[in-house]
Structure 1
């Protein structure tokens, strides 16, 4: 289906983003595509405002994000169940999600206008925090859910179950449950594996485990992962996609499963997940 309405959302504190937003809007309009602009983006670009991120997500066919990977994570969080396909144009260094430099904005606009964008389907996590059967928090994550010790330099104990069966008790600084998209973020820094976007799995990665045999565990994305603190002696926190951490109450349980909604992430025709990996991780060799 041809894209008719473009939603434009920018990281307004990025240098040069106001001019880029105006240039992108002009290019879309020259190709007779309607552009609706998020409130803060409209303010810096001196354009007509069309609403909040959530409102833009409701009304658009495709969201163009000007910023970095963190900007896309924020848009995914704000859009929630109204999430639409996203194409990221990077303002700064290239990321894993925003793979096109701002200097190539005309190429991006042309590819969108002519229907040459390719899409990668990205699974999201549904993260639910509850206690005594009462739901305290229910959110989606594109990258990961992190259960950690916070600022206190002590190990915490976390009990993990997969589909109701005990996995193990982790004695570590924390635990990361990541999607394939999130496998190249915090989980990778903690020693986790890189997962291709369509692999159909999640990864459970401990952060600095005390037991050397505690390593990343890959599970099907149809699994239900349950995490609960093994002790209330020290504070434990939950952070989803890098958002403000929430302190876990007594008898807290975290249930993580694949969300019903998914993200279609746009790429230019000549860009692939593996080409991005080669660039970002600086892989070289006789065949690269």
Structure 2
């Protein structure tokens, strides 16, 4: 893929973001590639644009996202119906999902213009909240859906089913349902396994479970996962990809399945998933 039109979306709060946007526009212009800016990104560099993330995604063949993993998650949430391929440039702290650091922006432009990159199709979760038989919330997640307690430091009970069969009632701080992409995020910090991007599974990971035998459960990505709160007295919240939490009314059911959409995420040929793991998690091996 050698796109002729790209969109640039930056985390406007990151130091150096404005300079990087300007550098990329110059490089793409010299290469004959049209670069459009999302509205907040344009304002960052003193330009004007009325394009939302979704509108920019509809116009561009490829979205260049400047920031960290959270910035990419925010962009995916803003794309809505049309999922546009993403090329991430890291100006964040970790950057599992990004291709290169900001200092290598010329290499990024060269790779994009010459088409010397590949796409890893990342599974997305289709998340629905049903109340009295009606869908009241419907959204997509690249990383995870988290059902958790609120401000009160009290365990919550979550009845969980997989393909209509009872799994268990978790008595915990919450539950993380993650894609392979999200397995290196909240689920990992809660003790879950790392899943390869194309493993074709999801993971259900309890957060601080009271029953020590409650551990992560890996299910096929064709599964339907349903979660309901068991206790009306304790507030329960749904958070999707780290976005603002939503209070779930008692009696609501959170239904999670694989979306029919995927995110084409750009990867450089020389960087495999396992090489990224070694770098980001600082796995240096043993000298023994």
- TM-score, scaled relative to structure 2: 0.97
Deviation of the 1:285 alpha carbon: 2.0
Greater shift after overlay, 179-188 or 1-10? 1-10
Question: Structure 1 residue 270: deviation in Å?
Answer: 1.2
User: Is 1:89 aligned to residue 89 of structure 2?
Assistant: yes
1:154 maps to 154
Tell me if structure 2 keeps the 8 A contact 1:108–1:268.
no
- In structure 1, the partner of 2:227 is 227
Question: What residue is the counterpart of 2:113 in the other structure?
Answer: 113
Deviations 1:104-147 (A, max 9, x none): 00001000100101111100000000111111100000000000
Report if aligned partners of 1:4, 1:34 keep a CA contact under 8 Å in 2. Answer: yes
Aligned residues: 287
Superposition pairs of residues 19-34 of structure 1, within 5 angstroms:
19-34=19-34
Residue 48 of structure 1 deviates from its aligned partner by: 4.7
For residues 286 and 250 of structure 1, the distance between their equivalents in structure 2, rounded to whole angstroms, comes to 50
**CA RMSD of the aligned region, Å?**
1.2
Task: Give me the whole-angstrom Cα distance separating, in 2, the residues matched to 1:199 and 1:106.
Answer: 33
Q: Which runs of 5+ in 2 are unaligned?
A: none
Q: Distance in 2 between matches of 1:59 and 1:174?
A: 39
Which string of whole-angstrom CA distances, capped at 9 and with x for unpartnered residues, describes residues 67-86 of structure 1?
11111000000002211110
Q: CA separation in 1, counterparts of 2:211 and 2:183?
A: 22
Once the two structures are TM-superposed, the CA of residue 50 in structure 1 deviates from its matched residue by: 5.4
Q: TM-score, normalised by structure 1?
A: 0.97
- Which residue number in structure 1 is paired with residue 16 of structure 2? 16
Q: After the TM superposition, which residues 1-288 of structure 1 pair with which residues of structure 2 at under 5 Å, given as runs?
A: 1-49=1-49, 51-285=51-285
Q: Is the 8 A contact 1:157 1:170 kept in 2?
A: yes
- CA distance in 2 between counterparts of 1:49 and 1:100 reads 26
